[in-house]
């Protein structure tokens, strides 16, 4: 009998981005004010959180967040210039500040005794080096990274590819773990997977827009996952 598969998102799920987020906010705010925005950190965070809560970035990531905040804060015509100024600093921040959550390796090691593990993530190729440097690459039997295959979540094809690489395992024998309702929970639920939402993320601001966006389980930290799955498998 095949082991069930647990697929993990990376950013703000396995990868702790809080130091990066603080760095990004400061750099972005400095550049915005350099272009005449005149906004303090409290009001900036309120705008940022509303953009995320209201899903104005769609399925995009940090550069889309930059674009949408610029529309609301900066003077017309400055958005593209600000994004260009910020992009190399974002790349540097990713390289220096991304790390695993403290409980990630231990949780994955525990889960690997009962489940096969995989990754389904919208990430750039540099994330693979982080997995290798942190010595957890070895724990994953399947890794599907959007930048390597040209398909992004929530496209169901990225999930289907992961299941195919997992030797045609059925969706009912899969669990998707991620922090976003729109790119992790919704498409996995539609396919018939079980879902686990992690809330140690900026995307905890998202609220379900339909029943299909309600996860099977919700956890505040990765270390809770073995306990919530204990009764199901």
pLDDT in tens, the chain (233 residues): 678 999 999 999 999 999 999 999 999 999 999 999 999 999 999 999 999 999 999 888 899 999 999 999 998 889 999 999 999 999 999 999 999 999 999 999 999 999 999 999 999 888 888 988 998 999 999 999 999 999 999 999 999 999 999 986 799 999 999 999 999 999 999 999 999 999 999 999 999 999 999 999 999 999 999 999 987 77
* Token pair listed for 18: 């809080």
Is 135 found in the same domain as 70?
no
185 shares its domain with 113: yes
Looking at the fold, whether 119 and 11 belong to one and the same domain comes out as: yes
Domain co-membership, 209 together with 112: yes
- Judge if 221 and 183 occupy the same domain: yes
Domain boundary among 56, 75, 97: 97
Domain span at residue 115 reads 5-16+99-229
Our count of domains for the chain comes to 2
Question: How many residues are listed for the chain in this entry?
Answer: 233
Same domain, 10 and 125: yes
76 and 155 together in one domain: no
Q: Residues 104, 27: one domain?
A: no
Q: Are residues 209 and 131 in the same domain?
A: yes
Among the candidates 55, 78, 97, a domain finishes at 97
Structure tokens at 142: 């399947």
Give residue 139's pLDDT. Answer: 96
CATH of the domain at 221: 3.40.50.1000
Cis peptide upstream of residue 154 (ω within 30 degrees of 0): yes
Among 63, 97, 131, identify where a domain stops.
97
109 and 221 in a single domain? The answer is: yes
CB-based contact 101:200 (threshold 8 Å): yes
Examine the domain organization and report whether 79 and 191 are in the same domain. Answer: no
**218 forms bridges with which residues in the sheet?**
197
How far is Cα 118 from Cα 143, in angstroms, rounded to an integer? 6
CA distance 98 to 76: 32
- Identify the helix (H) or strand (E) that includes residue 69: helix 62-73
The model's pTM is 0.95
Cβ count within 10 A of residue 191: 17
The position carrying tokens 């496209």 is 155
Within this chain, do residues 104 and 67 fall inside the same structural domain, yes or no?
A: no
């Amino acid at each position: 009998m095949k082991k069930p598969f647990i697929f993990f998102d990376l950013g703000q799920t396995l990868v702790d981005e809080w130091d990066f987020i603080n760095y990004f906010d400061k750099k972005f705010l400095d550049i915005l004010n350099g272009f005449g925005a005149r906004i303090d950190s409290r009001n900036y965070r309120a705008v940022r959180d509303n953009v995320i809560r209201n899903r104005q970035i769609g399925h995009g990531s940090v550069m889309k967040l930059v674009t949408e905040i610029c529309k609301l804060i900066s003077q017309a015509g400055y958005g593209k210039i600000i994004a260009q100024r910020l992009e190399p600093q974002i790349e540097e921040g990713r390289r220096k500040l991304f790390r695993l959550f403290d409980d990630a390796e231990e949780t994955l090691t525990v889960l690997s005794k009962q489940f096969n593990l995989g990754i389904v993530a919208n990430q750039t190729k540099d994330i693979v080096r982080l997995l290798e440097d942190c010595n957890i690459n070895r724990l994953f039997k399947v890794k599907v990274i959007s930048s390597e295959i040209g398909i992004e979540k929530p496209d169901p094809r990225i999930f289907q590819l992961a299941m195919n690489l997992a030797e045609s395992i059925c969706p009912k024998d899969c669990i998707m773990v991620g922090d976003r309702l729109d790119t992790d929970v919704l498409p996995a639920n539609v396919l018939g997977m079980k879902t686990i939402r992690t809330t140690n993320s900026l995307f905890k601001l998202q609220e379900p827009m339909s029943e299909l966006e309600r996860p099977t389980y919700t956890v505040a930290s990765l270390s809770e996952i073995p306990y919530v799955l204990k009764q199901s498998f």
